[in-house]
Chain A
């Protein structure tokens, strides 16, 4: 289990993470989302023990990831722009990682084939997406208990994205591992994540089970015979509201059945309920948070 305990991190005068606390359960694929500059990468670097937290700490299976380097054997961080030294190739990279981690040769060969990478080709001649694949190859072959993927799907073509998602499913099924993925591609996250957290203003205040959250936020379309006093919507936890002609579109947080029951009391001519996707969930939560 990953526990982030009251973590704060500043860069100069800019406070990026503010007393952030979060727990991610074992076996979970956690989608970390937030706007640009929200601190997603900083949080992942704090989790992986690269950055020292100004306050608080991160524990994985009860061990501080910064203070005790031994736990980092179970953690692997794939950053958004991997570093490769001059003239290095996948073979030399394997030499590097095999010095500290146990590489599962079977998975290595299987994933190498799946990604279609040339072991002997210089990594600097690879495209950005291929460079990321090279690191993902080791992320999967090392079989860490905690896998951190920063901007995981950026720069990958649809086939590789599909293969990666499939590999991650297999990986989590076989290893009982925890994966934290940060990405702006919420559609991809929605496909694989079972839980999520929205990083905003240095904190993760909105988090939980993705399916539950999606069920808890719904879009309602209502039409009325004549104009109504909009203050009737005040009693709902309204995340979004718009009006086109006599049709209102509302995004309301709360139990679907209860909300429908309450809305029916307003006697609309039409009442339709639509499910929101993860992207809408993020947008509505973000806008709701900023209101």
Chain B
């Protein structure tokens, strides 16, 4: 499984590369006043090296001539792979480990350094194994680099399309973190681990995620490498997981982003297609372009436009279904019992006859055409930090929320909203925010009811003054 001869050769032949990396690392340690900054810079360099080194060390797999040399030597395929991987890991990890040791001494980390060293080793190993596996999906060096980039950006692409879909079709959902996507990206997990070491905290879930990736991809890589058809080196990368999958994945992502960003539904098909025709034509041109890169020749089979049109239709149908079933019911998913819940209501009025205006006139004698009402629980205030919202407030919020959901799917013809409700659940460092816009104005009775809640603050702004609504219903001017 490991070839000492090949490892010795790698050390001897790559000695200048190793010296160069060592020199950079020493410059970082000597030049940086702060060992934490040195650790972050070293982490970034390591991240880049974990992409570059597999390309450099395993270049022979994609070179028709080099295949003859490397696969005819008396070293088993398993040993060639394992030794190459070990060399890559060692090259990336050792400088990092050294910087971490300096950092540990500077920060007096103590025995935790051993844990951090292990976590770092795991992160580097998982990254290199994963990147090598991506590199081997292709049949030539350029495609190998493209595959590494394409697969590494997939979680980000999924994140973009999910956010685009939920913000367009799920009432109340704005940008979400979609934490699960971190576990699809070893690079993101490794960054989390590096950052957690910097902050001296534990990122157990990400460490475990990296361990799973290292084991699973290590096994797949070994099997695939042993059975690899080396005669295909230098040929177009037509494995199912190479261009055929990557091209269709990104085209699908783009189609869903186009249809969801523009809020497509069945009712406005012709207008939608008119507005987005150029976008679709450009995407089709890119689609054809990727086939040119894939095949390395002009390639225009009739099936491509047919497949593209079919994919457009499917994306439009799915987004329409998504809208008609209210985001597959996700609009109703909302955690109400979060003790750290923050709410923020912004209501505005441009109506001289509103009951808010009447109330303000009665209480202060001030008349204004324009009013803003802010209702919020101030979590930054020590007195209010741990206060829970009352049951009556929660009931009002839920009523407003339901109205917001209903208004989201039946947008007003004049496009005007008078109320904005924002709810943030921010437990355990991760936050989920729900945002609603409501057509109807908030009446004074509801405002007074909300003002009674100890956890809430209500302010009314005119064009000239700001007032705080007290628990007893009186107004106190803010100077």
Interface residues of A (CB under 8 A from B): 11, 42, 45, 48-52, 69-73, 75-77, 79, 81-83, 85, 92, 95-96, 99-101
Contacts and interface: CB of A to CB of B under 8 A. Distances in A.
Contacts of A52: 227, 229
Contacts of B60: 83
B402 to A, nearest CB: 60
Interface in B54-71: 60, 63, 65-69, 71
B9 A77 contact: no
Nearest to B69: A83
Interface string B100-111: 000000000000
Interface string B1-30: 000011011001100000000000000000
B230 interface: yes
A45 B231 contact: yes
B446 interface: no
Nearest to A148: B72
A99 B9 contact: yes
B59 to A, nearest CB: 8
Given A11-B231, A82-B65, A49 B71 contact: yes
Contacts of A51: 230-231
Contact of B6 (A50, A79, A81, A99): A99
Interface string B61-85: 0010111110111111001000000
A83 B65 contact: yes
A281 to B, nearest CB: 30
A69 B66 contact: no
A179 B79 CA distance: 28
A85 B59 CA distance: 10
21 contacts: A45-B68, A48-B68, A49-B71, A49-B72, A50-B68, A50-B71, A52-B227, A69-B76, A69-B79, A72-B74, A73-B74, A79-B65, A79-B68, A82-B68, A95-B9, A95-B13, A99-B5, A99-B6, A99-B9, A100-B73, A100-B75
Contacts of A50: 67-68, 71-72, 230
Given A50-B71, A99-B9, 9 more contacts: A11-B231, A48-B72, A52-B229, A70-B74, A72-B73, A73-B74, A83-B69, A96-B9, A100-B5
Contacts of A85: 66
Interface size band for B: 20 to 34
A70 B76 CA distance: 8
A73 B3 CA distance: 14
A53 to B, nearest CB: 11
A100 B67 contact: no
Contacts of A70: 74
B262 to A, nearest CB: 43
Contacts of B229: 52
B367 to A, nearest CB: 82
A178 to B, nearest CB: 16
Counting chain A CB atoms within 10 Å of each CB, which of B65, B74, B229 scores highest? B74
A95 B12 contact: yes
Nearest to B9: A99
A73 B79 CA distance: 15
Nearest to B4: A99
B337 to A, nearest CB: 60
B227 to A, nearest CB: 7
Contacts of B73: 72, 100
B347 to A, nearest CB: 68
B16 to A, nearest CB: 10
A194 to B, nearest CB: 25
B181 to A, nearest CB: 37
Nearest to A93: B69
Counting chain B CB atoms within 10 Å of each CB, which of A73, A81, A100 scores highest? A100
Contacts of A99: 5-6, 8-9
Nearest to B75: A69
A77 B72 contact: yes
Contact of B72 (A75, A92, A96): A75
Given A51-B230, A52-B227, A83 B72 contact: no
Contacts of A42: 231
Contacts of B67: 50
Nearest to B10: A99
Contacts of B66: 83, 85
A51 B129 CA distance: 24
B76 to A, nearest CB: 4
Contacts of B79: 69
Interface string B207-222: 0000000000000000
A96 B75 contact: no
A63 B67 CA distance: 22
Nearest to A49: B72
Contacts of A83: 60, 63, 65-66, 68-69
Nearest to A68: B76
Contacts of A95: 9, 12-13
B8 A72 contact: no
A63 B72 CA distance: 15
Contacts of A96: 9, 13
Contacts of A79: 65, 68
Contacts of A73: 74
A50 B76 CA distance: 11
Contacts of B227: 52
Contacts of A100: 5-6, 73-75
Contacts of B72: 48-50, 72, 75-77
User: When A and B form their complex, which 5 residue pairs have the shortest distance between CB atoms, in order from nearest?
Assistant: A83-B65, A72-B74, A73-B74, A99-B9, A83-B66
B174 to A, nearest CB: 50
A206 B9 CA distance: 43
Contacts of B230: 50-51
